[in-house]
Every structure is written in structure tokens, then in C-alpha cells.
Amino acid sequence: MRHGVLILPEHRWVRARERWVLAEELGFDHAWTYDHLMWRWFSDKPWFAAVPTLAAAAGATSRIALGTLVASPNFRHPVNFAKELLSLDDISGGRIVCGVGAGAEGYDSRIRNDPQLSRGMRAARFGEFVELLDGLLREERTTFRGDWYTVEDVVVKPECLAAPRLPLAVAAAGPRGMALAARHADIWVTSGAPNMFESERYDRVVPLLKEQLAELDRACVAQGRDPAGLRRLLLTGGSVGGVLESVESWRDASGMLEDAGFTDLVVHWPRPDFPFEGREDVLYEFAAAAGLGKDGTR
């Protein structure tokens, strides 16, 4: 099981830097941040942009993988985003992971007065978004004509440091999204019940997660892909709770989820108040108890 931590982009860099560096020192395999213009409970609070935050984190660290969890087409365009990802890939020495999702209704989809989309329309847009982004990061020149995006002879170079491109982590919960992940993703991402923020203890969510894993396996087979070649990441703290109650609960959840088929487990950096309220010392204690090392070895 690989372990990661999600750091909200809420603090000025002089303080935020300490957390990104500490995540590496504690031995976590990856560290992530949300990619939003504004985000539900922080619409009137400090909130920094993901790409410059990751660039700064790349300069402050040397080993840990860094990524968005997740970016969406609510305000991202594949061409602009591909250029930014390529730059992050270069700055980090090949440590960037691009996490993407369809983008639900919310601040990001409203604050620019963009037309509101149905769930089916968002899914169709996301399909083109991922397909085009995948192609841009793989090929030197890309031409694409779709219903949502049309680009002509776009040049993206140099190539990513990680061949054939930097890893894509695709968040998906339904059959259409699972098929998209099976076609394009290196990592499949779930947070449990989609777009739900009422927390339920991790052991009670396992049956739902197993159903999602089975659906993912079927999608891989349908796409002619070996399911074993796709990593499976669970982001906890939203609809999946209880992991950070103690070192024991974290260890128990890790074992239970690994047995179910997950390869990666991500927790939110604990905050002193809502949301993601918890104790930072659990992070430190788990890192020591699980044998996470400063060089990332177990």
C-alpha cells in the first residue's frame, strides 16, 4: 500500500512549505492538493492556486510524488493545462501526477458565468478532456476535433520526463467514467460515494468500494486491459471517515483496503476545525509505526 496526504492550499507559502517538506520527511509516497478556483467551505477564506503551489512544492522537495486531486474541465482547457503540467514535470524532475475529474456543479462552474451542464454533458466533456490531454502529453503534435474541444496542430515539447507521459489519475464512479479510466488512466481514483460529504466509517464503506472495484475490473476487461496494471487510489476524509481517528484505525483501514484491492490510500492533512478535523500527531505516529522512511522505503 502506498500512502499519501492531501494538503489544502489554504496557507501562505511560508507555512505551507513546512507541510509539503514534512510530508516528504515523514516518508509519504505522494502529496496532493485540490485544484479549484474556490471550494465549497472555503469560498470566503484564503485559497491558493494549485499549479504554482505544486511548482513551489517541487522546488522544496526531492523525492515525493506531487499531484492534483483533482483538476477538472470546469475551468481547465487541455492545451493550457498540458503546458502547465509539462512545466511542472520538468521542475519536479518527473514527479508530477495529474489527477483529473469530471467536475461537479459548484463554485468553479458558476463563478465565471459558464452555462450549467447536465450530468451527461459533463461526462461527455470529461471524456474529450481526458482523451485530448492524454494525447497532448504523449505526442509532439496534436490535432483533435470533438464536440467540446477542437485544436489544430498543437505542439507540446519537450516530451515528459516519464515515458510515455506523466501519470494520469482519473476519478470515476460510474460505468462511463470507469471505461474512461480503463482506457487512459495509470491510477483510478475514488472517494467512495460520489460527491458526498457525509462521512461514514471506512469499514462500512468497504462493500460499496468493492462494488466499484469490480466495476473497474469489468471495464478493464472490456477495454482489453489487464486490471492488474491499473493502480487504485482511495481519497478518505469526505464520505470515507474514521481513518485518522488513531494509528490503530489507520493501520486497520490500510489492511482492510489493501485486501479489497486498493494500492494507494490518501488522507487529508488534519485541520484544527471543520472540515477534516483531526490531530497532526496521528500523521507522525503512523509514519513511525508503519515504517515510512525519509527515503521513501518501507
pLDDT tens figures, 261-271 = 999 999 999 99
Average pLDDT, the chain: 94
pLDDT tens figures, 141-162 = 999 999 999 999 999 999 999 8
pLDDT tens figures, 249-261 = 999 999 999 999 9
Sign of CA dihedral 279, 280, 281, 284: positive
pLDDT exceeds cutoff 90 at 201? yes
For the record, the C-alpha cell of 226 comes out as 489487464
pTM, rounded to two decimals: 0.95
**Dist CA 40 CA 275 (whole Å):** 10
- Are 92 and 60 in contact by the 8 Å Cβ rule? The answer is no
**Dist CA 44 CA 13 (whole Å):** 19
CA distances from 179 to 86, 126, 165, 168, 196 (A): 26, 12, 20, 14, 22
